[in-house]
Amino acid sequence: MPTITGLKAYDLRFPTSLEAHGSDAMHTDPDYSCGYVVITTDAGDGLEGHGLTFTCGRGTEVVVVAIQSLSFLLVGKKLEDIYDDFSSFWRALTSESQMRWIGPEKGVIHLATAAIVNALWDLWAKREGKPLWKLLVDMEPEKLVSCIDFRYISDVLTKEEAVEMLKKKQEGKADREKEMLEKGYPAYITSAGWLGYSEDEIRKRCREGLAQGWTRFKVKVGADLADDVRRCGLIREEIGWDNTMMVDANQRWDVQESIDHMLRLAEFKPLWIEEPTSPDDALGHATIAKALNPLGIGVATGEQCQNRVIFKQMLQAGGLQFCQIDSCRMGGVNEVVSVILMAAKFGIPVCPHAGGVGLCQMVQHLAVFDYVSVSASLDNRVCEFADHLHENFKEAIVIKNASYVLPKAAGYSTEMKPESISGYQYPNGAVWQQLFKEGKFTAP
């Protein structure tokens, strides 16, 4: 059985702020970045695991230090010791007696946990010769549930309930998997509606999206209500009323402000308002949902819900109608699976958050797993797509007919090209050295 021999962590940053890619009401000038992890083993075939956690530029160095600080918990361990009792290992990562004080299970230390855990799942899937979605779909219910730490959520979902839920969906799994392989998983597009884009750029991207077959478009709002009205109007003008529009405030508003602003934007018939207020405010989300649901507007959130406990409270309070799991904000696949199961119990559709660096690469696997093994439904389910930075990955995502084409290569689709790792390392990579030389960024 292979042993983990090392862990390397990299600070990778991409200068997306130069063209306002990813800009929203809160994150006005993001440089999409990630803390990137490579786990090495002594396997004769050079088996490695690659994982990451998404960031927005400054502060990525802090995440990298946190990753390195956790590395002693896995270097020297046999893979068998981790995967045979993954929930215990996950708890060891999240409950290290001293480092949990800078969490616990939230913030930088949890982002670091996600990078490591995602790399471990990439390694496991590669070892089994399967894409991650297939590894999850093929796993026996008892084995999959054994990967989850149920502490703090057993009042809502027990191990026994989780196993039973998965067993009930065994029937029809083969047909659903075949359907996914043939048609892909439905997606919506965000990269037409970034807040920093000019009107001409938004119109151009909407028209390009329509020509490519997109029928669902998301618009960033929250900086200025009058401008939100203008931008929603021009996007409706471009995509028409038969296509679907969502709006995303990225936590900009207070609770009452969220309600007031959405009453004004209701004329544009958005399917949901995403992240209207603080991601920690379960009761605030419930208040917003109660006010907006009669108008046909749902509340969507999750990309910055820090852990399964916040999701539990959101679900209990009725604070979300669309559950937007994130592959890196929580502690990796193990915790994401627990939230997918809780959402299914509450009858809430999972619509993964994506974009950034590598998020689309990962969530495609999680969305397919949800459909094939958990929800068995595509009603009100759609996965985010933002067309940025995929070219840096060895197995870049493929979109066809506005749907994710299922990845076939073994792993979690997280392995970056060596030239991207070397070129975009901050601050010494060749790309950054050139940007400093050109005066586009200031060297640290």
Q: Mind telling me the catalytic residues?
A: 220, 353
Token digits of residue 99: 């480092």
Q: Which of 48, 56, 61 is nearest to 9 (CA)?
A: 61
Which token pair is 322? 């669309």
Closest C-alpha to 386, from 191, 216, 245, 186: 191
Residue 199 · residue 29 · CB < 8 Å = no
CA dihedral of residues 409, 414, 417, 420 (deg, nearest 10): 160
Of the candidates 178, 136, 115, 170, the one whose C-alpha atom is nearest the C-alpha of residue 366 is 136
Identify whether the C-beta of residue 18 lies closer than 8 Å to the C-beta of residue 322.
no
Residues 6 or more apart whose Cβ sits within 8 Å of residue 100: 94, 109
Other CB atoms within 10 Å distance of the CB of residue 199: 10
Length of the chain (residues): 444
CB contact at 8 A, 322 and 348: yes
Closest C-alpha to 193, from 167, 154, 144, 227:
227
Q: Which of 41, 42, 19 is nearest to 32 (CA)?
A: 19
3-state secondary structure of 443: coil
